[in-house]
Structure 1
């Protein structure tokens, strides 16, 4: 075929090798123009299958031709995270263990398995969400400044983050499985009530996890990942909680009223960010409340491109910055493989709740997760 071409593989992983080999056998992996291969998740089912898949693709295509797509990376708020950090000294100078107490990343879905139970029961929330979407968000929060704003320089730093994470133990992970309950006032069945789900299934529909990074920047700062189906609302956010002031300047009477500053980046349903900080309420009494400084992409710029619009344009332009490299995929699978090999028991939670109560036990020195509606903040460790 003359000219440039893109092959988009949104197919079952079992078909990847034969399709890629077929493209190579008829000479479609190269040509007079450029040739690019877009690969949709899942990139493997575990470390061994991901390595086999990468090796199979590399037999025909060079890594520079491969675009492993994760649509979360195409969201404007995610892209802006790099600008937010590295173009604003106000934030980058505080982006470390001396100023930040903890980081939370939440990807919540109201929906259940919705007719996909047969597939989902072989996958679960760790493979479906944690290994890719939440891990990618975590690397962008934790990465060091790249040497330049090129695809490989940025992805080099993301891989360094993955390699710095300490081994994950069973007591760092809580698996959950939704039971019957109510979402938005409507009764919904539990996961095990789906006819395509085995009665003894231990497949997690939610995962809550604590990660520790063994790095100079993040030593001692816990990263919490939380995802699940049949949660109370659809919400994707990153909450960065800063440390409290070292001295109770306003006295013990007001110390319990003070809240740590929190930077909240929302990816969905409304892209933007909020910075929560304490202010004095007008009047003679010393009353302190936490309020947000608010920024919305919709309000500032009107309609913004959908994630896939951005990513597909990048494919055409040959920009791999927002795509996942082979060593990233394998480093992530390597991190979670011990949990896949020896998974904890999935604890039940009612549909419409934020996962099992045991998930809150992971939050050391914390009362609850940060949520924008309740303005819940936790005391500093």
Structure 2
């Protein structure tokens, strides 16, 4: 695609945790490798009384804490800090925007804005930017999730932003789409001829997508109480992974072709009725248990009061189209789980006839595992014969054919997701960003599940921290003869 880099970048929330851990180290990585446009200035903004010098010290401390030792080049850090400046602003106070516009100055060379804030501040932020001339034709805006809490609030936010910015200048961020392994799903599917003939209901028995965390609330209690696991992880990351697995082959690697095919998947998701929901979903909430041999509190104990917010959800979903009819997609996410893991497991259908059964050989269906974190690898489990003379029968065993991306590309630096997404925002490439129709189709499906929980009076089932969730989640798959990929 033709790239159109801007000359200026504005970071709201520049002194916050996301900025310190991810945004500033990512921008430095791009700077150190000569990938930022020459002369690009980065203006940080947040509430408070920081100035240019104190913000540069905040950035210096963040780089010292979060950069690996081999990236701490003093000269490059010093030159990066010279790109930085700071202007305080309160997004809820329109009067603070003019000083911000004065600080940024001329934007005829293009301005990219990264906005990570509570949904309630989107409207005043966008209106404030427009009023002081920071929303013109040369400006594009990146919006960090969450984009609402249901379809109605999402539409309200999208309408607010769309009144000022057209769709081709709105970059909705789901950081999972910037992960290298996630993009490798496209390369695996559409760059290899041997998968496509079996990548359908005739060849695949089921798909499992797991995003498991070992952490608890941390400092997100306020947000999480209003969101829960379904809104926080399923509506965002998990459904995007499902779309990459289920989408039809795009004609080109372009923003329109890829996002068109993802949107078709979301529109094909079977929307559950209140009667469907109890049979196809499980909710849970962690209680006291042990994670990595350390005793941890339950969710209610961390909050200090009783709550019915789910910290775990498992769902049996269906994509009702020609390719996937009848194939269950099992989705699972939770906090305080047994292991930190994000992966996709695709189980193929068994061979139609086993020639080995008369000799004692037992076959297992092939499984393709795409691990996103903490390790990054692609593994195909295939059947092989154990060595031996076979006088007492044929012994077959499942063995892995494993491609470790960490090992295979050991000589190349692996970039974190925000490096790619920030560079794409600066250069104007929307391919890895989420379009409005995708977001709203996701909410239609999610809202139906929440409505089913409300109609049935569903309360989360407790599970001990450090486990794989409530036992009902095991039953969700095992009544179909399927076992979660937990090894």
TM range (shorter): over 0.9
Shift of 1:116: 2.3
- Structure of greater Rg: 2
Match of 2:317 among 211, 216, 221: 211
* Alignment partner, residue 378 of structure 1: none
Q: How many angstroms does 1:216 deviate by?
A: 0.6
Partner of 1:91: 195
* Greater per-residue helix proportion: 2
The alpha carbon displacement at 1:291 in A equals: 0.8
Partner of 1:282: 387
Q: Which moved more, 1:43-52 or 1:281-290?
A: 281-290
Q: Deviations over 1:215-274 (max 9, x none)?
A: 11000100010000000111000000001011121115636x321101000110111210
* Residues 297 and 304 in structure 1, CA contact (< 8 A), matched pair in contact too: no
1:27 to 133, 141, 164: 133
Residue of structure 2 equivalent to 1:268: 373
Residue 6 in structure 1 maps to residue 120 in structure 2: no
Measured after TM superposition, the shift of residue 362 of structure 1 is: 1.6
Structure 2 SS opposite 1:85: helix
The structure-2 alpha-carbon separation of the partners of 1:367 and 1:252, relative to structure 1 and needing over 3 Å to count, comes to farther
> How does the TM-score come out when normalised to structure 2?
0.74
Name 2:364's counterpart in structure 1.
259
**TM-superposed deviation, 1:311:** 0.9
* Alpha-carbon separation, structure 2, partners of 1:195 and 1:205: 13
Q: d(CA) in 2 for partners of 1:120 and 1:193? A: 15
Residue 182 (structure 1) aligned with residue 182 (structure 2) = no
**Residue aligning to 2:473:** 359
Q: Secondary structure at the match of 2:360?
A: helix
Within-5 A mapping of 1:50-129: 50-129=154-233
Match of 1:370 in 2: 485
Q: Is the 8 A contact 1:180 1:350 kept in 2?
A: yes
8 Å CA contact retained: 2:266, 2:441: yes
**Greater shift in the superposed pair: 131-140 or 163-172:** 163-172
Q: Distance in 2 between matches of 1:263 and 1:254?
A: 25
Quick one: structure 1 residues 205 and 252, their matched pair in 2 at CA, closer, same or farther if it must change by over 3 Å?
A: farther
Which residue of structure 1 lines up, in the alignment, with residue 447 of structure 2? 337
Q: 1:237 aligns with which of 328, 332, 343?
A: 343
1:336-360: CA deviations, max 9, x gaps?
1122234222011110111111011
Name which of structure 1's ranges 357-366 and 175-184 shifts more when overlaid on structure 2: 357-366
TM superposition shift of 1:117: 2.1
Inter-partner Cα distance in structure 2 for 1:26 and 1:108: 43
Matched, 1:299 2:407: yes
Deviation of 1:25 after TM superposition, in Å, equals: 1.4
Alignment of 1:116-195 (within 5 A): 116-168=220-272, 169-170=276-277, 171-195=279-303
CA offset digits 1:279-318 (Å, max 9, x no partner): 0011113211111111112111123111111111111221
Indicate the residue corresponding to 2:101 in structure 1. none
RMSD over aligned CA atoms reads 1.3
Q: d(CA) in 2 for partners of 1:271 and 1:147?
A: 27
Gap regions ≥5 residues in structure 1? 374-381
Q: Structure 2 CA distance, aligned partners of 1:340 and 1:220?
A: 23
2:81 aligns with: none
Please give the secondary structure, in 2, of the residue aligned with 1:90.
Answer: coil
| C-alpha distance 294-15 of structure 1, shift in aligned 2 (>3 A) | same
C-alpha displacement at 1:334, in angstroms?
A: 0.6
How many residues are aligned here? Answer: 367
Larger relative contact order (CA 8 Å, sep ≥ 6): 1
Query: Structure 1: how far apart are the matches of 2:357 and 2:187?
Result: 38
| Partner-residue secondary structure (3-state), 2:431 | coil
Regions of 4+ moved over 3 Å: 252-255
Check conservation: 2:289, 2:295, Cα contact below 8 A.
Answer: yes
Distance of 1:319 and 1:138 partners within structure 2: 22
CA distance in 2, matches of 1:162, 1:61: 24
Gaps of 5+ in 2: 1-105
